[in-house]
């Protein structure tokens, strides 16, 4: 470990540099729903009791600790996310030292700098994947070192953070089979599988059903959609930026696929290690195969956070036998990926600012609101896709919940909405449906048309214009 100290320092510094910009981000979207549930229900106010779609009590506990110390100050929540991220990177580095010792530094830097991590790191609600992956990686590391009891304990903690950890028993089984570790193979697998069965039973009691979660997504996807989802989730971590144009993404996806195929054909590559990493990555994306991860935006990138551990290992295995290549590739990846990752942090910073100014403006009205153009996201960073009513309540708003007539997806700042009998946005924003019945308001092309003004007669009609809400005359 003494010889690894310089490498550890480099990896931790890179991870810190990537995560530090997130400290300037605010609270957005689902963050407010989580915090309100915690403020009303205590340490296990969310995802910990029936009725609930998920069973993630450990995440609930961390949000409660942050809320108890920081209230609505976003800094503390983002400090927690940053610490969890640095620990994830450190653990991935240690795993790489066990599997690909010659490329551990490359693996740590690559994992730290992956742009696909932006949603999990810079969004408070994304910590479910951060924490689950942190405990998953710690459990896997201890399995590599033969510490069965601690492995099972940390696996249990990962399950209490997010359901995606259910693949752990099969990951360790795959590792033991591919690497020929006969001693304790099925003992570790059977132990982890037993803990998984206990977890599934406990979760079913809390959620009230076996599946829960994103029910509609799990059952409505066609085979073709599942195949496309699998391809995108497998190759997206290898792309330098998730915000490039779709055509560029497609080209990069083809290059990534070709590169993986070429690596498989190289005789100098340790085939068993590479095969394990590929199988482990496929296992890691199994729980989210029916959930869409778009190729050209950062939406839902958090679903691939666990899989990206093995994506980094795949690249590292390929360069394990060439020290010079390690240094060159590490420098290139560090610069290219880290710059893109940090650039994405500014989207989340701007999203937080928009949420803050929007709330300040909404609080200035003394009547219930009907809002045109609630900011949904800023370049893929959520603003108020969810949690608007919770945010207003946390800030002391005591009136009726607002009616959302439409939302806007913002690509540049400032964006504005115009009204001349129909609402339309500037080129910097795209109009999205709201939460009202179509009989009240609906989209017609690029315009929002209010069909029943009488249904809104008790509310102030306002629209989001360049960072603030302005009243609309009927």
- Summarize the confidence of residues 226-236 as an average pLDDT: 91
Task: Pick the more confident residue, 36 or 254.
Answer: 36
Please name the residues in contact with 64: beta carbons below 8 A apart, sequence gap of 6 or more: 38, 42, 43, 44, 45
pLDDT of residue 393: 94
Residue 325 has pLDDT above 60, yes or no: no
Picking from 184-188, 299-303, 357-361, which range would have the lowest pLDDT averaged per residue?
184-188
Bridge partners of 464?
469
Q: What mean pLDDT comes out for the span 106-113?
A: 91
| pLDDT at position 75 | 98
Cis peptide preceding 414, ω within 30 of 0: yes
441-449 contact pairs (CB < 8 A, 24+): 441/405, 441/406, 443/406, 447/422, 447/423, 448/372, 448/405, 448/406, 448/422, 448/423, 448/424, 449/422, 449/423
pLDDT band for position 173 (cuts 50, 70, 90)? very high
- Please report, rounded to a whole number, the percentage of residues in the chain having pLDDT higher than 70: 87
pLDDT at residue 464 greater than cutoff 80:
yes
CA nearest to 75, candidates 41, 39, 112, 124: 124
pLDDT of residue 46: 86
pLDDT in tens, 376-408: 999 999 999 999 999 999 999 888 999 999 999
Domain boundaries, the chain: 5-346, 363-471
Q: What is the pLDDT of residues 115-170, one digit of tens each?
A: 999 999 999 999 999 999 999 999 999 999 999 999 999 999 999 999 999 999 99
Poorest-confidence range of 15-19, 49-53, 75-79, 192-196?
49-53
pLDDT > 90 in the chain, percent: 62
Predicted confidence band of residue 467 (pLDDT cuts 50, 70, 90): confident
Mean of pLDDT values over 344-348: 93
């Amino acid at each position: 470990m003494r010889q690894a100290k310089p490498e550890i320092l480099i990896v931790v510094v890179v991870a810190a540099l990537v995560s530090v910009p997130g400290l300037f981000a605010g609270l957005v979207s689902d963050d407010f729903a989580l915090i309100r549930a915690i403020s009303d229900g205590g340490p296990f106010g969310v995802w910990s009791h029936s009725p609930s779609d998920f069973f993630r009590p450990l995440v609930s506990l961390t949000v409660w600790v942050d809320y108890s110390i920081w209230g609505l100050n976003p800094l503390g929540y983002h400090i927690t996310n940053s610490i969890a991220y640095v620990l994830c990177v450190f653990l991935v580095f240690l795993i790489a030292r066990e599997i690909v010792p010659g490329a551990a530094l490359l693996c740590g830097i690559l994992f730290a700098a992956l742009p696909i991590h932006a949603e999990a790191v810079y969004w408070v609600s994304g910590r479910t994947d951060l924490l689950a992956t942190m405990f998953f990686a710690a459990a896997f590391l201890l399995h590599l070192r033969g510490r069965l009891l601690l492995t099972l304990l940390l696996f249990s903690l990962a399950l209490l953070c997010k359901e995606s950890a259910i693949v752990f028993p099969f990951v360790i089984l795959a590792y033991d089979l591919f690497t020929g570790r006969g001693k304790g193979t099925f003992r570790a697998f059977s132990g982890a599988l037993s803990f998984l069965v206990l977890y599934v039973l406990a979760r079913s009691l809390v959620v009230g059903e076996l599946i829960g979660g994103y029910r509609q997504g799990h059952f409505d996807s066609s085979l073709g959609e599942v195949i496309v989802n699998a391809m995108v989730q497998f190759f997206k971590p290898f792309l330098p930026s998730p915000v490039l144009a779709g055509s560029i993404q497609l080209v990069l996806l083809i290059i990534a696929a070709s590169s993986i195929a070429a690596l498989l054909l190289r005789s100098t590559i340790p085939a068993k290690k590479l095969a394990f990493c590929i199988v482990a990555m496929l296992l890691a994306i199994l729980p989210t195969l029916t959930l869409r991860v778009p190729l050209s935006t950062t939406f839902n990138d958090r679903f691939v956070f666990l899989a990206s551990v093995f994506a980094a290992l795949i690249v590292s295995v390929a360069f394990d036998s060439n020290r010079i290549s390690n240094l060159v590739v590490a420098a290139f990846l560090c610069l290219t990926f880290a710059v893109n990752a940090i650039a994405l942090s500014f989207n989340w910073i701007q999203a937080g600012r928009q949420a803050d100014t929007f709330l300040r403006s909404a609080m200035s009205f003394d009547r219930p609101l009907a809002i045109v153009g609630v900011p949904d996201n800023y370049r893929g960073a959520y603003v108020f896709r969810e949690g608007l009513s919770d945010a207003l309540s946390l800030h002391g708003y005591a009136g009726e919940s607002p009616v959302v007539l439409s939302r806007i997806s913002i690509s540049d700042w400032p964006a504005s909405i115009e009204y001349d009998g129909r609402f339309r946005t500037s080129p910097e924003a795209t109009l999205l449906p709201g939460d009202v019945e179509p009989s009240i308001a609906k989209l017609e092309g690029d315009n929002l048309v209010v069909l029943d003004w009488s249904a809104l007669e008790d509310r102030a009609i306002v629209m989001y214009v360049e960072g603030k809400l302005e009243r609309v005359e009927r």
